[in-house]
Amino acid sequence: MKLTIQQALQQGVAAHKEGKLQDAERLYRAILQSQPAHPDANHNLGVIAVSINKADAALPLFKTALEANPKIEQFWLSYIDALIKDNEIENAKKVFEQAKKQGVAGATLNTLKALLSSIKETEKIGSVRPSQAQLISLQEHYQNGRYGDAEKSARLLCLQFPCDNFSWKILGAVLKQTGRASEAVFTGTKAVEITPDDTQAHYNLGNTLKELGRFNEAEASYRQAIALQPDYAEAHSTLGNTLKELGRLDEAEANYSRAIALKPDYVEAHYNLGVLLFESRKYNLAAEQFELCDIHLSKLYAIQCSYLQDEETIFYEKFDFLVCQGEINAVMGSLAFRSEFKYGIKKSNPFCNAPLSYVVKTDLNELYDFEKIFIETARDVLSDNSASYKAQGHLTNGIQTAGNFFAQGKVAKTDIESIIHAEIDKYRFQFKDSAEGFIKNWPTSYEIKGWLVCMQSGGKLAPHMHDGGWITGSIYINVPQKSKTDSGNLVLCLSDQDHILGVEKGHQGIIDVVTGSLCLFPSSLHHYTVPFEGKEDRIVLAFDVIPKN
């Protein structure tokens, strides 16, 4: 039964109070689709945005709520607080005066007044440094995960003491931790400008630039950190990751090896080297590195090394051990099928026994303004001269953007990520009664990482899977007119072995995709694209749901 606006609001508020923010956001957005200026829905969505440290996203929502109903005191308070959090101090002062004229009073308004006054009085101070107590308090906020308090304190200290390198570094770290890497570039650059001989500041800036896919700039920052501190093992290893993304594999391997030479027990460097060797199909050497570390996906890479080297007995020993340990992930799900095809031994699949039954296709054209939200955003990213692209061995006649699509500048301020979260919620609800492992053990928290793939005529993706994903998705920004029935279509399959693909009935499915299609499927499925011919580019936004540890 379709909910009324009031019922949707009541359910949204109830979910909000219970901490079910994704459910609450979905309900509030449903209200706004019907009534875009609804004051409570706009305000409550803004409150959610502020709670996850996205004050900039909250500002237009609070403004709309105020314009719809300026008599609600809380709307004014929320708007002023968000302006301060977003460092729009002058605007905050103007809105504060408007609130007073409207007759708003109360303790919270007095607190905001005191904060604005303190900022006004301290803006002129530039040479004095914060007290030890202020710095300790700031560090404690950050280390204990109180990012909202840490950001507020760091912003105030940066205003009071603009030459204090530590406050800028903490502010940058908070912004990066809360998904605002594009904003963190400014604070990182500021920290480097203040103290150009600070090795950690250069390294931090490199990490931020790398997350945004700005690899050339990240490389320069890491090299500067190494120039200042040649024995900085972490910088060597992370520089190796950056070079690997650029396809400079020999240089990447040299940096991993240098990091290990400097710090033999540095497990992160062993892991990174192992992944590079694995992707270079040097499985015996990769296995040696994975034996020296137990982090990230090292166990899953190790078992794949045994499988790919045809070590049947060792492979099954590792498989059974990991199943007994409760290892549930896409790699184990894929290996259960692939080993059955290869060795003829059927094993229980801990992830998903019938992944082709969990493929969902949705037409986003019917639900959203696809042209404005998706197509225009993709065009902006692909036409941006500063955009970086990564080496992609599976891709023929095409390019793939580097870094996380959702962390890049304008993209982070669109509705794309929220829409994907909403569609993932629908997917999970659709299969909520399933006994499959990936549904029963759905991650309590996850992040979404995405990238654009742009292919020219004749382009294709070879069969592959996303090892770290839980659910994989693809949104078809542009699909050229099909010259043949399956041109440019998506193929999902249980194996990447050529003699299996398309041979055994039920081992693969072909998804007919058009512009506006969204496909969601378990990450244990291998997938590839049918080559196409045409004058237009085939553009896809691909993404993974990645469990957080």
pLDDT tens, residue by residue, 278-302 = 999 999 999 999 999 988 889 999 9
Range of lowest pLDDT (19-33, 223-237, 320-334): 19-33
Q: Which residues of 274-301 are buried (b: 16+ CB within 10 A; e: fewer)?
A: bbbbbeeeebeebbbbbebbeebbbbbb
Set out the domains of the chain in order of their start, with CATH numbers: 5-122 (1.25.40.10), 132-343 (1.25.40.10), 355-547 (2.60.120.620)
pLDDT tens, residue by residue, 404-427 = 888 776 776 788 999 999 999 999
| More confident: 237 or 462 | 237
How is residue 147 annotated by DSSP? H
Note the pLDDT of residue 438.
Answer: 97
Note the pLDDT of residue 225.
Answer: 94
Note the pLDDT of residue 71.
Answer: 82
Residue 346 has pLDDT above 80, yes or no: yes
Give helix then strand counts, H and E, for the chain.
24, 9
Judged on CB neighbours under 10 Å (0-12, 13-18, 19+), 13 is: middle
Radius of gyration, CA atoms only, the chain: 26
Note the pLDDT of residue 269.
Answer: 96
Residue of 150, 178, 183 whose CA lies nearest to 166: 150
Show the tokens assigned to 109. Answer: 């308004």
Return all residues near 143 (Cβ < 8 A) that are at least 6 apart.
none
3-class SS of residue 416 = helix
Confidence grade of residue 228 (pLDDT, cut at 50, 70, 90): very high
Q: How many residues does the chain have?
A: 549
Q: What is the mean pLDDT of residues 146-153?
A: 91
Question: Cα(209)–Cα(205) distance, rounded to whole angstroms?
Answer: 6
Note the pLDDT of residue 499.
Answer: 43
CA angle 98, 101, 102 (to 5 degrees): 85
Show the tokens assigned to 19. Answer: 């901490």
Question: Cα(271)–Cα(254) distance, rounded to whole angstroms?
Answer: 14
Render 460-483 in DSSP notation, one character per residue.
EE-SB--TT-SEEEEEEEE-PPPS
Note the pLDDT of residue 124.
Answer: 42
Question: Cα(145)–Cα(142) distance, rounded to whole angstroms?
Answer: 5
Show the tokens assigned to 532. Answer: 């196409």
CA angle 217, 218, 224 (to 5 degrees): 95
Do residues 168 and 189 make contact, with C-beta atoms less than 8 angstroms apart? no
pLDDT tens, residue by residue, 114-136 = 556 555 444 444 446 787 788 88
0.75 exceeded by the pTM? no
Residue of 98, 34, 113 whose CA lies nearest to 66: 98
